[in-house]
Amino acid sequence: MKYFLCIILFLTASISSLAQEKYDVPFKSINGIIDELLDQITIEKGEKMDTIAIRNLFHPSAIFTIADSTKSETVSLDDFLNLLKDPYYEQGYLEKEIHKVVDEYNGMAQVFQTFYGKDSEGSEERGINSYQLTYYGGRWWIVSLLWTIESKSVGIPAKYGGE
């Protein structure tokens, strides 16, 4: 019986450790955390976004800014997560990476990611996400996300995967 109990405890600890490692994997690399964010915000019709999982990708004081050459709007992490609860997203949303440029130095990184997005109404767009990240505590954190949408007058530059 004592042997059986030890095996159960060992298996439970091993499975818990493996589950924790699997959960931490996206945070160990820049590509991993960015890919995880895209996985989280891409949802099928009727699904709800897992805002707890999304929150765990960002530094608690992260900011979010959408901008173009005429205006910009910045919100907090809490405000951003509230926006993701909008029923618009429950109809389905796809965002995928087209191209990425990563610059990294001494625990900080800047990522320019060209993306393609499509909503449930079939509206398609391309744009660029600009992420700022920091590495501490054994993982990457997104501290800022700035994005813009491509327009007819301002296309995506070739160095970011544009034409």
| Residue-wise pLDDT tens digits, 1-30 | 454 433 433 433 333 333 344 445 578 999
Per-position b or e across 13-26, b if 16+ CB within 10 A of its CB: eeeeeeeeeeeeeb
Give Cα 55 distance to the centre of its chain: 9
Residue 37: burial class (beta carbons within 10 Å; 0-12, 13-18, 19+):
buried
**Boundaries of every domain in the chain:** 2-160
Is residue 81 within 8 Å of 145, Cβ to Cβ?
A: no
User: Which positions ≥6 away from 120 have C-beta within 8 Å?
Assistant: 45, 91, 92, 93
10-residue block means of pLDDT along the chain (163 residues)?
42 38 69 96 90 95 94 95 87 95 98 96 95 96 97 94 88
Q: Return the pLDDT at 93.
A: 93
Q: Looking at residue 24, what is its pLDDT?
A: 56
What is the third-level CATH fold of 2-160?
Nuclear Transport Factor 2; Chain: A, (3.10.450)
- What's the rounded Cα separation, in Å, for the pair 96 and 77? 21
Alpha-carbon 62 to chain mean position: 12
Sign of CA dihedral 131, 64, 33, 96: negative
Residue 15: per-residue pLDDT: 37
Is residue 120 helix, strand or coil?
Answer: coil
